[in-house]
Amino acid sequence: MGKVTGFLEIDRQERKYAPAADRVRHYNEFIIPLSDEGTRNQAARCMDCGIPYCHNGCPVNNQIPDWNDLVYNNRWEEASRNLHSTNNFPEFTGRICPAPCEASCTLNIDDNPVTIKSIECAIVDRAWSEGWLKPEIAAEKTGKKVAIVGGGPSGLAAAQQLARAGHTVHLFEKNRKAGGLMRYGIPDFKMEKHHIDRRVTQMEAEGVTFHYGAHIGVTQDAQQLVDSFDAVLMTGGAEKPRDLPIPGRELAGIHPAMDFLPQQNRRISKESPLDNKPILAGGKHVIVIGGGDTGSDCIGTSLRQGALSVTQLEIMPRPPDKENKPLVWPDWPLKFRTSSSQQEGAERDFSVVTKSFTGENGEVKKLHCVRVDGKMQPIAGTEFELKADLVLLAMGFLGPVLEGMLASLGVKLDGRGNVEANVVNYKSSLPKVFSAGDMRRGQSLVVWAIREGRQAARAVDEFLMGESTLPR
């Protein structure tokens, strides 16, 4: 423990955001990091609890008290080594993780938690800038070949672990670049994409071969792939969006969020567009249906494109302003949160259901809504209309896309429509085929995808070699 009285003397101080009026003029990241001294002070607040709940609250089990102590004592390189022993990509989670660790910090019981996520990000950003992060090339090759389908955080983490264990790893990705939803869903203002490119370069040096434009089960036969590798790990994500099949859905101007967000990300990275029509929010009244992360990303992107107004509708009631800490700690609490994008100027409304869309000349113009009670039943007399030129559907994802790879291989699904595999051996119903990440657990978080990728890598290594020294 760095400073014994740190938590008594120092208040929590978070990284600040650039002012909303400035940041909506561009798509770059806008978080202003703390100084090294400021970060050390925040690390000094950690109490090094006998039972560190944060360590358990973190899905990759980051050894948080250990690196807080190292940062406080100015041992940044060792802190980076410690952090990388549990997390392949802390610069991703340090930017976009919702930080369940902070919810479970002991200081969060009756005070403000340690700024764990900011410290994590400061460690890894410093490690990159100091040149401490080098490719870790396996000393010996095993002669075993592994195919990974999907280049999201889960596939990337697994590929890095397996290459470092000495296997020959080929990663197949249907898009033109790696990163999955971090590349094409999450906007640049939350995470710039050079962070992913830098890891891809590191992994190429470690021996991972990336195959882009390789849509397994569509442009490349899935069974042939399985036949030509010693093991296959499917990390294709949960890309099937939830639709809203109500009257008027066929009108132009109503789109799933993931038809809209990737276009902007591709524009920024100068990746040539796919052949679909541009969806732009500039000069429009935008309605976002769905109150989660994806909805927030639609708000921030619409505002940057110059939307006249953005309104976000949520079917659930407005959560309480504060959680009941004694009741929920150390779990993730339900409480009213305002994302940086919502802060930039969106109207938010709760307990609202959209009954139909109407339009003119085939284009959407209005939403017809009604308020609902606690059981989500419409309340008579509360009907209202909203003006809309663009409607973005951000109501979550149903599960993995079945057409193509999963259907052609005939892999067994679980009751929720995800690929069936447990979290001990990550084996699917097919011999030598494994699955991890959103494809196995359903729509989730980057940090869970990294955890599953790492654990699945160990399971594949054990399957190939009979034992493994990779961490679980």
Residues 240-279 that bind ligand FAD (CB under 6 A): 261
In the set 62, 63, 160, 175, which binds ligand FAD (CB under 6 A)? 175
Residue 430 identity (one-letter amino acid):
L
Which does residue 446 bind out of ligand FAD, ligand SF4, none, counting CB within 5 to 8 angstroms by kind? ligand FAD
Which does residue 58 bind out of ligand FAD, ligand SF4, none, counting CB within 5 to 8 angstroms by kind? ligand SF4
Per-residue CA distances from 298 to 30, 203, 354, 384, 437 (Å): 17, 31, 18, 23, 23
Residue 462, classed as helix, strand or coil, is helix
Residue entry with tokens 């930039």: 344
Residues 358-387 that bind ligand FAD (CB under 6 A): none
Segment contacting ligand SF4 by CB under 6 A, of 35-43, 55-63, 106-114, 139-147: 55-63
Q: Identify whether the C-beta of residue 210 lies closer than 8 Å to the C-beta of residue 147.
A: no
Which does residue 294 bind out of ligand SF4, ligand FAD, none, counting CB within 5 to 8 angstroms by kind? ligand FAD
How many other C-beta atoms can be found within 10 angstroms of the C-beta atom of residue 353?
16
Q: Identify whether the C-beta of residue 128 lies closer than 8 Å to the C-beta of residue 198.
A: yes
Phi, then psi, of 385 in degrees rounded to 5: -120, 150
Residue 330 sits in the site that holds ligand SF4 (CB under 6 A): no
Phi, then psi, of 81 in degrees rounded to 5: -60, -45
How many other C-beta atoms can be found within 10 angstroms of the C-beta atom of residue 156?
32
Task: Please say which residue, 60 or 369, places its beta carbon nearer to ligand FAD.
Answer: 60
Which does residue 117 bind out of ligand SF4, ligand FAD, none, counting CB within 5 to 8 angstroms by kind? ligand SF4
Residues 399-428 that bind ligand FAD (CB under 6 A): 404-405
Q: Identify whether the C-beta of residue 299 lies closer than 8 Å to the C-beta of residue 341.
A: yes
Segment contacting ligand SF4 by CB under 6 A, of 60-68, 241-249, 252-260, 406-414: 60-68
Residue 435 sits in the site that holds ligand FAD (CB under 6 A): no
Residue entry with tokens 């100015």: 74
Residue 173 sits in the site that holds ligand FAD (CB under 6 A): yes
In the complex, the smallest distance separating the C-beta of residue 316 from ligand FAD, rounded to whole angstroms, is 18
Which two structure tokens, joined as six digits, stand for 460?
Answer: 């594949």
Site map for ligand SF4, 422-451, x if CB under 6 A? -------------------------x----
In the complex, the smallest distance separating the C-beta of residue 411 from ligand FAD, rounded to whole angstroms, is 12
Round to whole Å and give the CA distance between 146 and 48: 40
Residue 6 sits in the site that holds ligand FAD (CB under 6 A): no
Task: Indicate the length of the chain as a whole number.
Answer: 472
In the set 43, 47, 58, 470, which binds ligand SF4 (CB under 6 A)? 58
Which does residue 151 bind out of ligand SF4, ligand FAD, none, counting CB within 5 to 8 angstroms by kind? ligand FAD
Which does residue 68 bind out of ligand FAD, ligand SF4, none, counting CB within 5 to 8 angstroms by kind? none
Residue 57 sits in the site that holds ligand FAD (CB under 6 A): no
In the set 62, 80, 104, 235, which binds ligand FAD (CB under 6 A)? 235
Q: Identify whether the C-beta of residue 155 lies closer than 8 Å to the C-beta of residue 232.
A: no
Residue 181 sits in the site that holds ligand FAD (CB under 6 A): yes
How big is the site for ligand FAD, counted in residues (CB under 6 A)? 39
Residue 236 sits in the site that holds ligand FAD (CB under 6 A): yes
Edge-to-edge strands, sheet with 168-173 = 209-212, 168-173, 145-149, 231-234, 433-435
Q: Identify whether the C-beta of residue 45 lies closer than 8 Å to the C-beta of residue 71.
A: no
Residue 451, classed as helix, strand or coil, is helix
Segment contacting ligand FAD by CB under 6 A, of 30-38, 210-218, 324-332, 355-363: 210-218
Q: Tell me the three-class secondary structure of 352-404, residue by residue.
A: EEEEEEEEECCEEEEEEEEEECCCCCECCCCCEEEECCEEEECCCEEECCCCC
Q: Is 160 exposed, middle or buried (0-12, 13-18, 19+ CB in 10 A)?
A: buried
User: In the complex, which residues of this chain contact ligand FAD (CB under 6 A)?
Assistant: 96-97, 149-155, 172-175, 180-182, 185-186, 214-217, 235-237, 261, 293-294, 297, 404-405, 437-439, 444-447, 449
User: In the complex, which residues of this chain contact ligand SF4 (CB under 6 A)?
Assistant: 58, 60, 62, 64, 87, 93, 97, 99-101, 116-117, 120, 447
